[in-house]
Amino acid sequence: MDWRTNEENMEKVQRRVSLSGLEVRVLVKELGALKGGYLSNIHSLGEAQIFRIKKSGGEDTSLVVSPKYGVWITEKPAQTVTDEFTTSLRQELLRLKLEDVSQFDLDRVVFFRFSKGEEQLQLILELMPPGNIILTDARGRIVLSLRESKGLQRSILRGRIYAPPPQSRGSPENADEASLAESFAREKTVGRALGRGLSLPRRYVDEILARASLAQDDPTPVPAEKLREISEIVRTIIAGLESPSPSLVKSEDSVELMAVTPTRGEVMETATTMSRLADKVFSPLLLEEESTPEREDNQQAREFEVTLERLEKQTSDLTQRAAGLREAALAVRAASSPDELAVALARPAVDQTLRAELKPEISVAAISSMLFDEAKGAEAEIRRIQEVEATLRSRLHRAQKLAPKAKVLVVTRANKEWYEKFRWFFTTEGKLAVGGRDAQSNTILVKKHLVEGDVAYHADLFGSPFFILKGGAEQTSDEVRQVAQATVAFSSAWKTGLAAADAFWVTPDQVSTTAPSGEFLAKGSFAIRGKKNFATKNPVEVAVGVDSKGRVMAGPEEALIRLSRAHLTLIPSREKSSDTAKKVLFELKKLFGDELAAPNVDDVMRVLPTGGGKIVRRRENRKQEESALPEDDVKESAP
């Protein structure tokens, strides 16, 4: 049975799977690819924060930072109505550079270090329930936190120095024979020795035991050579995080996310990155939780819910244990032979520790009495927990009544085409024209995407992008005019306020990455050899519209008339580029409404030329029901 097509199994995956410190280590390594990027925006999805990180020459990356589920790169970016915490984060972090991503001692704590000049800020994600997002300054003082708390061991309060959560178990990275020997000396079984001695979840303890040919209930102590073997297995698993194999593993009645290839359980799915699995499993949960129109929630209520869930689990376990102990006690009392007594004591409720206390010299009546006492102790603990639960439920009810009702708007964007990393439009003949955004993307575009059969355009001035017309060997005179106009519009001619400028086109074999003898080529520049084919007096203006897929796009007006049912035309202006983008977005919303796939100022700024502009024309090209073009009328060329 394929779990990916079975809703019940998928629900089981989402309910049970969670991130441990080992998966977090792999994710932190993957997030290293975002270093050097700038934080362009933050949106909220419940308590989760969606960071949009922009890297030079590349497309924006959406990063989910969720105190409940973890951190991962998502291909399903979404947003809700921005809350107060997100607004505060924006004020502190927008436009800052992501310098580093790190983890605290293989624990479920992730640090994001941001900078702007001499300013240094650190965002901290804590995944231990109920989870937290904390912002500190360069001195480590807390500036902002999703949740504030005060305790004996540490306090999360504004102005206090941040301290990581205290660890009660040893780090697997520091596990050696000596530390393992101490842990094994304290516990009665190897399962407890590993589980309480190392900061590892049950799935990794089971994996270590499976590789060492041991079981959870095997007694301690173990031979010295077995300790050495266990120590080596732990080191092997930690070393395996450098070349991870992310997978979802089915083991008995649960599904687990693992960072290394397991020797136990059934591997249900693998992925090239941990982010892909986390995105597949957790992103739908975030969307589901926040898509309800009126969801009652607040920080205090969430903390009560987490505590009640934990107490309910304890009550269930204790109830089962008490019933099992009473049955075992009755079976012991009824035993008429040593064999029947052994069968009674082999029941699951009588664990290894309890069996070790039942010495052979103890009478049957005493053994039965001990088991009844253990059952009574478990039942007394249940009553104490139920009293705490009653108090917490009353507090939860009050907290929910006070909780604000948040209206949620979920917005998702489809996967982007390769050319959306660059400037792009389709000509009136359906050919794809792609242009660079800066020196780095110019280099990528020419080296990777300029092939035989294409033509390359460049403005006849310093500070111009390269534009490639895919299949341009068969270009028409109209296409020459359109691509030449786009090339000058996105060049330095816009920022300097020119009304018109010249451009030229050449074939791929005329573009060289090496400078003539004695000369030097700057980054993003190429040498042009042979005859240049000029297109003169191209107007410096650009049209902005929305295509049939809801994407904001910009290019020559002649092309936009065909591609967008309405458009705006802009010329250079001295106003701020952000103000221009806001005005354009306002006009686009009036023209297109819900047709816009990503109504965001950053998305509009991304398609506009660098510098301010002024709207000089608004045009309706055709009725809405006629806006979609036939699928085969536009040629979306492969890279």
Question: pLDDT, tens digit, for every residue of 606-616?
Answer: 899 999 999 99
Higher pLDDT, 61 or 254: 61
Task: State the pLDDT at residue 605.
Answer: 87
Across the range 612-635, mean pLDDT stands at 64
Q: What is the pLDDT of residues 461-497, one digit of tens each?
A: 988 999 999 999 999 999 999 999 999 999 999 999 9
Distance of CA 598 to the CA centre of its chain: 19
- The pLDDT confidence band at residue 413, using thresholds 50, 70 and 90, is low
Question: Measured between alpha carbons, how far is 373 from 322 in angstroms, rounded to an integer?
Answer: 10
Q: What is the pLDDT of residues 333-367, one digit of tens each?
A: 888 888 888 888 888 778 776 777 766 667 888 88
With 70 as the cut, is the pLDDT of residue 11 above it?
Answer: no
- The pLDDT confidence band at residue 424, using thresholds 50, 70 and 90, is very high
Q: Is 517 exposed, middle or buried (0-12, 13-18, 19+ CB in 10 A)?
A: exposed
- The pLDDT confidence band at residue 409, using thresholds 50, 70 and 90, is very low
Q: Alpha carbon of 85 to those of 21, 43, 46, 144, 149: distances in Å? A: 26, 10, 10, 8, 16
With 70 as the cut, is the pLDDT of residue 6 above it?
Answer: no
Provide the edge-to-edge strand list for the sheet that holds 432-435: 423-426, 432-435, 467-469, 455-459, 500-506, 533-539
- Residue % of the chain over a pLDDT of 90: 40
Q: What is the pLDDT of residues 277-300, one digit of tens each?
A: 999 889 888 877 765 444 444 566
Across the range 588-607, mean pLDDT stands at 79
Whether omega before 130 lies within 30 degrees of 0, making that bond cis, reads yes
With beta carbons less than 8 A apart as the criterion, state whether 268 and 10 touch.
no
With beta carbons less than 8 A apart as the criterion, state whether 138 and 59 touch.
no
With 60 as the cut, is the pLDDT of residue 61 above it?
Answer: yes
- The chain-wide mean pLDDT, for the chain, equals 84
Q: Which residue's entry shows tokens 């359109």?
A: 482
Task: State the pLDDT at residue 630.
Answer: 39
Least confident of 163-172, 186-195, 589-598: 589-598
- Indicate the pTM of the whole model: 0.56
User: Can you spell out the DSSP letters for 90-150?
Assistant: HHHHTT-EEEEEEESTTSSEEEEEEEETTEEEEEEEE-STT-EEEEE-TTSBEEEESS-EE
**Most confident by average pLDDT, 220-224, 369-373, 468-472, 628-632:** 468-472
Q: What is the pLDDT of residues 261-280, one digit of tens each?
A: 888 878 889 999 999 999 98
Q: What is the pLDDT of residues 500-552, one digit of tens each?
A: 999 999 999 999 877 776 676 666 678 888 999 999 999 999 999 998 888 89
Q: What is the pLDDT of residues 442-463, one digit of tens each?
A: 888 999 999 999 999 999 998 8
Phi, psi of 224 (to 5 degrees): -60, -40
- Sequence-ordered alpha helix ranges (H) in 458-614: 477-489, 492-496, 557-563, 577-592, 601-607
Beta bridge partners of 476: none
Q: What is the DSSP letter of 515?
A: P
Measured between alpha carbons, how far apart are the two ends of the chain, in Å? 37
With beta carbons less than 8 A apart as the criterion, state whether 151 and 121 touch.
no
